């Protein structure tokens, strides 16, 4: 491995994606040509309004909802905050209990923790070793005080896909609203809010080749929910603030592209991902794949490499032009390892040694080859340095 | 996030390895904390004639180990004892606040190795101030994290 071999390989699509040229092209006229405020009366603003309306139809169609049930937000975190706080505050007279999982994104977990400070109670259900939540556990956790079940459709770290339709059924059997954070699932898992019994769904544009700072909350018609952002009458009086028109137009175009042929897209990505996983597990001893063997996002691979620490893996990969991510504490501001990896039962030291590679539309077989060439050497070098490495996993001393 | 010096030290660490007939070995940290440093010293007279390390940890931990071992090579035990974590941070051109504890670990590993040398020679160990993440201590106490 020398520096001349370096090629940029982006395998962190769960963090964010590039924007597709079609999306940028769709947005472009709305920055300067159609800059009118959609709330304005004059004809000039009509183009802006039509752009937003069209995007609303596209987002609705992508999840099986009516356009009137789609509300644009400034991203996935706002949608999660709105869904959970909004339902909690609007249904306080009925109850004060929320059921969620222990592997949710922090946008859900920290919102629930905040609600606990406001007097609500929250049950954080455990998951199995693959990251799956048992719908039976949800059923057992629901009480006559429960007002909301919130479970992510797919996990951002280990890619595990939850049995969303079953969870929705369990919630509805008990007359409880069901929210799902589908930020990682949109474009990767076919979604139909009616068939899956979803009352509220969060999504985020930049996870499927759309713009950052854009998102939406689906709210089933008739759902009791308070507003989160107060102000003007935008979004039919539900979400104040002048619409991010170019962003919304881009979100609409991106979701249309991302959900056009999910199956074909997944087949292509999963084939590369599976070759990556097989290659890594066969080339590197004492490595494991985290997450579910089959019920996982097509683009997700998450490994633990014993005896080494994730941040140092990322730095060496970065030195070779490879962008990836880790659940190690050492890369987080909190110095706590990933709550998801701990929830699936990994000991701290294996959570520290985790590496997430998430593929996307621009990745090629050559990218997979390159990672398969670089990663075993990176792990080998770090194991050379580590005092934990046993003889069988250590390469012969170089000097 | 890291300075060029840290990245350079991390990507090309010096003094990695073990000394089979070391005169002193010091180990601090724990796998659960995400950092372990083990330092081996070979002493000739009162001088550090050779020093090697093995580290499990982040880029800053490996860079701190490498830099600290380079700094103490050739020093007397008293001089090496006096090397502070701030000296290591300075030599690395700075560390992010959350990573300063890695330099503390390097200092502590050196001091543990020096005291191991002293003990083996039948001398009293010098007094160690706890860093909060030495073996057996909890992980939640990285006191220098800021």
CATH, domain B4-120, list 3.40.50.300, 3.90.1010.10, 3.40.50.10890, 3.90.1150.10: 3.90.1010.10
Strand order in the sheet with A354-358: A287-290, A300-305, A354-358
Q: Are residues A243 and A274 in the same domain?
A: no
Q: Are residues A42 and A8 in the same domain?
A: no
Q: Are residues A224 and A286 in the same domain?
A: no
Each residue's pLDDT tens digit, B52-88: 999 999 999 999 999 999 999 999 999 999 999 999 9
Rounded percentage of chain A residues whose pLDDT exceeds 70: 96
Examine the pLDDT at B136 and tell me if it is beyond 70. no
Separation between Cα atoms, residue B58 and residue A47, nearest integer Å: 52
For residue B146, count CB atoms less than 10 angstroms from its CB and return exposed for 0-12, middle for 13-18, buried for 19 or more: exposed
Q: Which domain holds residue A247?
A: 34-258
HEC secondary structure over A241-269: CCCCHHHHHHHHHHHHHHCCCHHHHHHHH
Q: State whether B62 and A329 contact (CB < 8 Å).
A: no
Does the residue A29 lie in any domain?
no
3-state class of A370 per DSSP? Answer: helix
Residue B36 to residues A101, A116, A361, B26: CA-CA distances in angstroms?
33, 37, 39, 10
Examine the pLDDT at A335 and tell me if it is beyond 90. no
For residue A367, count CB atoms less than 10 angstroms from its CB and return exposed for 0-12, middle for 13-18, buried for 19 or more: buried
Q: Are residues A281 and A226 in the same domain?
A: no
Tokens of A368: 């997979």
Q: Which of A208, A235, A258 is the last residue of a domain?
A: A258
Separation between Cα atoms, residue A59 and residue A193, nearest integer Å: 12
Q: Are residues A182 and A225 in the same domain?
A: yes
Q: Which of A206, A230, A258 is the last residue of a domain?
A: A258
pLDDT of residue B129: 66
Q: Are residues A160 and A279 in the same domain?
A: no
Q: Does B109 touch chain A (CB under 8 A)?
A: no
Q: Please name the member of A319, A330, A349 whose beta carbon is closest to the beta carbon of B32.
A: A349
Does the residue A62 lie in any domain?
yes
Examine the pLDDT at A397 and tell me if it is beyond 70. no
- Please indicate whether residue B133 or residue A201 has the higher confidence score (pLDDT): A201
Examine the pLDDT at A331 and tell me if it is beyond 70. no
pLDDT of residue A349: 85
pLDDT of residue A5: 56
Cβ-Cβ pairs closer than 8 A, A with B, add up to 75
Q: What's the whole-number mean pLDDT along residues A355-362?
A: 97
Mutate to test the interface with A, among B31, B35, B97, B145 (most CBs of A within 10 A): B31
Q: Does B35 touch chain A (CB under 8 A)?
A: yes
φ/ψ (deg, to 5) at A53 = -65, -40
Q: State whether B142 and A349 contact (CB < 8 Å).
A: no
Q: What's the whole-number mean pLDDT along residues A294-306?
A: 97
Each residue's pLDDT tens digit, A49-67: 999 999 999 999 999 999 9
- ipTM for the predicted complex: 0.88
Separation between Cα atoms, residue A268 and residue A299, nearest integer Å: 9
Does the residue A398 lie in any domain?
no
pLDDT of residue B131: 52
């Amino acid at each position: 491995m020398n520096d001349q071999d370096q090629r940029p390989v982006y395998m962190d699509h769960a963090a964010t994606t590039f924007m597709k040229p079609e999306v940028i092209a769709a947005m472009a006229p709305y920055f300067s040509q159609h800059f009118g405020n959609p709330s304005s009366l004059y004809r000039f603003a009509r183009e802006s309004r039509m752009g937003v309306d069209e995007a609303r139809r596209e987002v609705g169609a992508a999840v099986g909802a009516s356009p009137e049930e789609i509300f644009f937000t400034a991203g996935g975190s706002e949608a999660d905050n709105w869904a959970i706080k909004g339902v909690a505050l609007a249904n306080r007279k009925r109850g004060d209990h929320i059921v969620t999982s222990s592997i949710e994104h922090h946008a859900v977990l920290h919102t629930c923790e905040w609600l606990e400070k406001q007097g609500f109670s929250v049950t954080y259900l455990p998951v199995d070793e693959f990251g799956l939540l048992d719908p039976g556990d949800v059923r057992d956790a629901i009480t006559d005080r429960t007002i909301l079940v919130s479970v992510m459709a797919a996990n951002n770290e280990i890619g595990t896909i939850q049995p969303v339709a079953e969870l929705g059924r369990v919630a509805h059997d008990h007359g409880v609203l069901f929210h799902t954070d589908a930020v990682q699932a949109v474009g990767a898992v076919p979604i139909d809010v009616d068939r899956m019994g979803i009352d509220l769904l969060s999504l985020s544009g930049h996870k499927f080749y759309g713009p950052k700072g854009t998102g939406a909350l689906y709210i089933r018609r008739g759902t009791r929910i308070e507003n989160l952002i107060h102000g003007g009458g935008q979004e039919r009086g539900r979400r104040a603030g002048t619409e991010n028109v170019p962003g919304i137009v881009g979100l609409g175009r991106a979701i249309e592209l991302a959900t056009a042929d999910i199956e074909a897209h997944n087949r292509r990505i999963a084939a590369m991902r599976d070759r990556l996983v097989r290659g890594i597990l066969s080339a590197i001893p004492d490595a494991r794949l985290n997450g579910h063997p089959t019920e996982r996002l097509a683009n997700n691979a998450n490994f633990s490499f014993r005896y080494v620490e994730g941040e140092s893996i990322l730095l060496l990969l970065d030195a070779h032009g490879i962008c990836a991510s880790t659940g190690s504490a050492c890369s987080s501001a909190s110095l706590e390892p990933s709550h998801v990896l701990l929830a699936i039962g990994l000991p701290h030291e294996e959570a520290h040694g985790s590496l997430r590679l998430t593929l996307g539309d621009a990745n090629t077989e050559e990218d997979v080859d390159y990672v398969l060439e670089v990663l075993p050497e990176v792990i080998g070098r770090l194991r050379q340095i580590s005092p934990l490495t046993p003889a069988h996993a250590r390469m012969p001393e170089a000097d | 996030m890291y300075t060029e010096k840290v990245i350079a030290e991390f990507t090309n660490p010096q003094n990695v390895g073990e000394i089979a007939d070391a005169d002193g070995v010091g180990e601090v940290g724990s796998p659960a904390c995400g950092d372990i440093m083990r330092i081996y010293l070979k002493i000739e007279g009162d001088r550090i004639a050779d020093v090697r390390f093995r580290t499990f940890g982040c880029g800053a931990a490996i860079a701190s180990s490498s830099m600290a071992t380079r700094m103490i090579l050739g020093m007397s035990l008293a001089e090496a004892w006096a090397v502070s974590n701030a000296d290591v941070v300075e030599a690395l051109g700075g560390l992010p606040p959350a990573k300063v504890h890695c330099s503390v670990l390097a200092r502590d590993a050196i001091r543990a190795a020096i005291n191991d040398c002293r003990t083996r020679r039948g001398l009293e160990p010098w007094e160690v101030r706890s860093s909060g993440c030495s073996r057996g201590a909890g992980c939640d106490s990285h006191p220098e994290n800021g």
